Amino acid sequence: MLFNSLSFLVFFAIVFPAYLSLRSWGAKKTFLLLASYVFYAAWNPAYVFILAFSTGVDWWLARQLGRETSQVRRKCLLVVSLTANLGMLVFFKYGGFTLHTVQELLGLLAVTYVPPVWNIILPVGISFYTFASLSYTIDVYRREISADASLRDYALFVAFFPHLVAGPIVRARALLPQISTPRTVTPEQVGYGMVLVLIGLFCKDVFADRLFAPVVDAVYGSPAAFGVVGGLAAFFGFAAQIYFDFGGYSLCAIGLALCFGFAFPDNFHFPYGARGFSDFWRRWHISLSTWLRDYLYIPLGGSNGGQWQTCRNLMITMLLGGLWHGASWMFVIWGALHGAYLVAERGIRNRWRGGKNLFTDAVVTVGTFVFVCVAWIAFRAPTLESASAFLSTFGRWRGGFSMEWFALAAALSMFAWQWRMRDQTLDGWLAQLGQVPRISVATACMIGIYLASGGDDRAFIYFQF
């Protein structure tokens, strides 16, 4: 059930007023939980049982962790949680990839191996709700939060439909206290939440799907038919497409949660205006980058060791972060590139003796954006051969069509806008506009969404992860 679909509009039109009509906070939570499971069942009813199993196991294990005093037993319980969650993730998401990799490795040894056909459908959102659920058991193990949540509250935390299938990866410590405390929904919250939803849908339907996706798909699909103009349009255009697609989804999730009285953390902060790669990861997919930092990078040792240990920890974190996105070596390459960027940046900063000025700031900002776009090639291209074919577009001149020039100009304009806005927040910018301009923004978004409707329905890119 896509946020930009008629089925979701009907779903929300039924669920939201019904939620508001309930008086008891317990009844509201029970209703939201049931509605969230209906939302998830719309994708594949059978996979509701996987969601329920993961929820039940982690809730029970966390309760045992909270009561257990033996450190050895507590570690065993944590290992069970990690094994159960990551085991399911590995099976469903990486089973076919593993079999194919084994086949290729044996082929290098002249051993013929024909793996069984892997036709198991990936449960939508499993990467997101697995990480959200793991945050609970890990934090309970660390004694950073208590394990006193009821099963209903915990199940609602995991399954709450705005963040269930593509994040943000809201942690238990942030959402469970909100669930346990009765929420009062105000007209101001609903109004602002709907503005965020409209902006998010506008970003998805107008920018990502109608402006950038056709050009990017055409160039990556038939690179031999395009020259440098088309290549540049797709090079910068995919950066814009994935930002407006995933950033738009995140705004929808945050806005929808706010309509029900819940506050989600921001997931993007004008990432293409970043001053370096570490700054980029403080701005891009913030809920994932902070999760990887707190539950992987820091436990590995973070930057507390020597230079080599820090570089190793950065590379491991980014390689696994790349693999989290999908079962493909191209995602591993994407993660490796970002790991290399972070390592190189760290080395340069340790040796840089020059001062900061407008020129160096501009060079760093532009360079960061360009190298991030280079890494996006590995993210978008399905194979190394297709990536090489795409890069060949930069070696020939062919006059671009008007749509290519327009997409290129729009992508560069997006970069300039994020550069200008990087020290502000979207909330702050909207607050400065005042009520009437905000209504105008919402109206313009509705008109744009209407005009962009009627084309091919595209799932949000991060639904596949």
**What tens digit of pLDDT does each residue of 377-404 get?**
999 999 999 999 999 999 988 776 788 9
pLDDT at 435 (0 to 100): 79
pLDDT at 167 (0 to 100): 80
CB atoms within 10 A of CB 319: 18
pLDDT at 464 (0 to 100): 60
What is the C-alpha separation between 232 and 216, in angstroms, rounded? 10
Higher local confidence (pLDDT), 43 or 297: 297
Report angle CA 442, 446, 451 to the nearest 5 degrees: 150
pLDDT at 121 (0 to 100): 82
- Residue type for position 326: G
Residue 465 scores a pLDDT above 60: no
- Residue type for position 148: D
Range from 208-217, 252-261, 265-274, 451-460 carrying the lowest mean pLDDT: 451-460
Q: Region 302-324: what's the mean pLDDT?
A: 92
What is the C-alpha separation between 61 and 81, in angstroms, rounded? 7
pLDDT confidence band for 354 (50 / 70 / 90): low
Range from 92-106, 153-167, 325-339 carrying the lowest mean pLDDT: 92-106
pLDDT at 140 (0 to 100): 96
pLDDT at 337 (0 to 100): 97
Average pLDDT, the chain: 91
pLDDT at 400 (0 to 100): 67
Higher local confidence (pLDDT), 371 or 454: 371
H or E stretch at 291? helix 286-292
pLDDT confidence band for 461 (50 / 70 / 90): low
Residue 455 scores a pLDDT above 60: no
47-66: pLDDT as tens digits: 899 999 999 999 999 999 99
What is the C-alpha separation between 263 and 162, in angstroms, rounded? 11
104-124: pLDDT as tens digits: 888 888 888 788 777 788 888
CB 343 within 8 A of CB 311: yes
Q: Which of the residues 163, 269, 285, 325 is marked catalytic?
A: 325
Q: Region 171-190: what's the mean pLDDT?
A: 94
Higher local confidence (pLDDT), 455 or 213: 213
131-170: pLDDT as tens digits: 999 999 999 999 999 999 999 999 999 999 999 988 899 9
Q: Enumerate the domain spans of the chain.
A: 6-182, 189-464
CA distances from 7 to 11, 12, 357 (A): 6, 9, 52
pLDDT at 460 (0 to 100): 64
Share of the chain above pLDDT 70, in %: 97
Range from 12-21, 169-178, 431-440 carrying the lowest mean pLDDT: 431-440
Q: What radius of gyration do the chain's Cα atoms show? A: 23
Residue 456 scores a pLDDT above 90: no
Give me the torsion for CA of 40, 287, 12, 263, rounded to 10°: 130
246-274: pLDDT as tens digits: 999 999 999 999 999 999 999 999 999 99
Q: Is 163 a catalytic residue?
A: no
Share of the chain above pLDDT 90, in %: 72
Q: Region 324-331: what's the mean pLDDT?
A: 91
